[in-house]
Amino acid sequence: MKINENFLKLKENYLFAEVGRKTAAYRAAHPGKEVIRLSIGDVTLPLAPAVIAAMHKAVDDMAKKETFKGYGPDATCYGYDALLDSILSSYARKGVQLGKGEVFISDGAKSDCGNILDIFSAENTVLIPDPVYPAYFDVNVMAGRNIVFAAATEENGFLPMPDESVKADIIYICSPNNPTGAAYTKTQLKAWVDYAKEQNAVILYDAAYEYFVTDESLARSIYQVEGAKEVAIELCSYSKTAGFTGVRCGYTVVPEALVRGGVSLNRLWARRQSTKFNGTSYITQMGAAAVFTEEGERQIDENINYYRNNAKIITSCLDGLGVSYTGGKNSPYIWMTCPHGMTSWEFFDYLLENANVVGTPGSGFGNNGEGFFRLTAFGTEENTREACARMTALLKN
Ligand code: MLT
């Protein structure tokens, strides 16, 4: 028996587990301190009333013989029509036409950003921005893939563009970006679509934060770019859109037009899902189906505006301190420069110990993240204000 030795190449802990471990150790050593977490992007507002009502109704359905549901429908890899239709209508409002068979319901974008690799050879080279959401890197290390990086730096506005001299088979893009908050325009994304086409590569496009986009020039979906259906798979989530971090629901779009080596990737993914997955629960799917209704969208907009206001509180605080940052607009993340030339983990410790505020060290998202620090707008307004007051007191001189 041999273990998968690729796991030995990973850091001991996943980034957010390491932040959680350090926070818990600090709390245990200082029981009287009120620690504020603006680290992992976990939501704090309850689910929208329309979602709750739909879930209650679904629970009642499960209680009656006539409406009880077992496994979801086979034909759509267990996605119910009500949810699939609502997703198609949400795409149509963004100017994107999709068919029901192109949308696969999941338990969130994180799972599928790793699961999707099942349909690709381990010999492929993967292009990952640096810094980026650490799961993309870790899942490819686990699979033993060759990884190359696209540097996201202050100079390119944290939005790397394709380099023709780099050969890639699989390309991860996250926009609006986690962790930097930077977001691609449709024109910039077109360059990535063209590059992928030339390379015969596939883009894995993470759109988990698209509901934070307000600027019309920015993409909400890669399929708003001409030709993208032939090169891109889109990963979407209800976590940040509708506060589903604890409920778990997402969807992955694999267009019919996406064919490699004469094989439909949609068919491969359907084959993989029907073997390894038994679907997202009926109650969850019914709750999610209420999100993109008129009432649901109005309610989730209110929640997203609440987080946008938190982002403004944080950026105003940083403006007052003269600390540079990106994000906070079209994104729930604020990517700040560590003050006084501190490294990311030095600043993490300094802020935790002196202000009892927890953020996420930029270096945890990649080498280019060194010297940066990520704050999230997903906290409560009260905690966000308090964290900013403490940061101001600590850093004002
Ligand atoms: C983050 O903080 O980067 C995200 O919340 C993590 C995730 O979505 O898995």
pLDDT digits (tens, 9 = 90+) for 156-188: 999 999 999 999 999 999 999 999 999 999 999
Q: Is 46 helix (H, G, I), strand (E, B) or coil?
A: coil
Q: Which of 133, 247, 307 to mutate to test the pocket of ligand 1 (most atoms within 8 A of CB)?
A: 133
The answer to whether residue 397 scores a pLDDT higher than 90 is: no
Q: Closest Cα to atom 5, ligand 1: which residue?
A: 41
Q: Tell me the average pLDDT across 42-59.
A: 98
pLDDT-derived band at 214, boundaries 50, 70, 90: very high
The verdict on the CB of residue 41 being under 6 Å from ligand 1 is yes
Please give the distance, rounded to the nearest whole angstrom, from the Cα atom of residue 107 to the centre of ligand 1.
14
Please give the distance, rounded to the nearest whole angstrom, from the Cα atom of residue 64 to the centre of ligand 1.
37
Q: How far is it, in rounded angstroms, from Cα 54 to Cα 288?
A: 8
The verdict on the CB of residue 147 being under 6 Å from ligand 1 is no
- What would the pLDDT profile of 362-385 be if each residue is shown by its tens digit? 999 999 999 999 999 999 999 999
Q: Where are the alpha helices (DSSP H) in 94-148?
A: 109-115, 134-142
Q: Of 308, 395, 303, which Cα lies nearest the Cα of 357?
A: 395
Please give the distance, rounded to the nearest whole angstrom, from the Cα atom of residue 340 to the centre of ligand 1.
27
Supply the pTM of this predicted model: 0.97
pLDDT of residue 67: 98
| Domains by residue range for the chain, with CATH | 5-47+296-395 (3.90.1150.10), 49-294 (3.40.640.10)
Q: Closest Cα to atom 9, ligand 1: which residue?
A: 110
DSSP annotation string for 316-368: HHHHHHT--EEESSSSSEEEEEPGGG--HHHHHHHHHHHH-EE-EEGGGG-GG
Measured from the Cα of 110, ligand 1's closest atom is 9
The answer to whether residue 274 scores a pLDDT higher than 90 is: yes
Q: Tell me the average pLDDT across 291-316.
A: 98
Q: Which of 43, 106, 111, 178 to mutate to test the pocket of ligand 1 (most atoms within 8 A of CB)?
A: 178
Q: Tell me the average pLDDT across 252-281.
A: 97
Q: Please list, in sequence order, all residues whose beta carbon lies within 8 angstroms of the beta carbon of residue 151, skipping any fewer than 6 positions away.
A: 129, 130, 160, 368
Q: Of 105, 90, 101, which Cα lies nearest the Cα of 224?
A: 90
Measured from the Cα of 376, ligand 1's closest atom is 2
The verdict on the CB of residue 178 being under 6 Å from ligand 1 is yes
Measured from the Cα of 135, ligand 1's closest atom is 9
Please give the distance, rounded to the nearest whole angstrom, from the Cα atom of residue 152 to the centre of ligand 1.
19
Please give the distance, rounded to the nearest whole angstrom, from the Cα atom of residue 73 to the centre of ligand 1.
30
Q: Closest Cα to atom 1, ligand 1: which residue?
A: 41
The answer to whether residue 100 scores a pLDDT higher than 80 is: yes
Please give the distance, rounded to the nearest whole angstrom, from the Cα atom of residue 268 to the centre of ligand 1.
27
Q: Tell me the average pLDDT across 388-396.
A: 97
Percent of the chain beyond pLDDT 70? Answer: 100
Q: Closest Cα to atom 4, ligand 1: which residue?
A: 41
HSE-up of residue 99 (Cα within 13 Å, Cβ side): 9
The verdict on the CB of residue 40 being under 6 Å from ligand 1 is yes
Q: Which of 40, 206, 209, 237 to mutate to test the pocket of ligand 1 (most atoms within 8 A of CB)?
A: 40
Q: How far is it, in rounded angstroms, from Cα 35 to Cα 357?
A: 6
Running DSSP on this structure, what letter comes out for residue 230? Answer: G
The verdict on the CB of residue 110 being under 6 Å from ligand 1 is yes
Indicate the Cα dihedral angle 303, 180, 369, 372, nearest 10°. -70
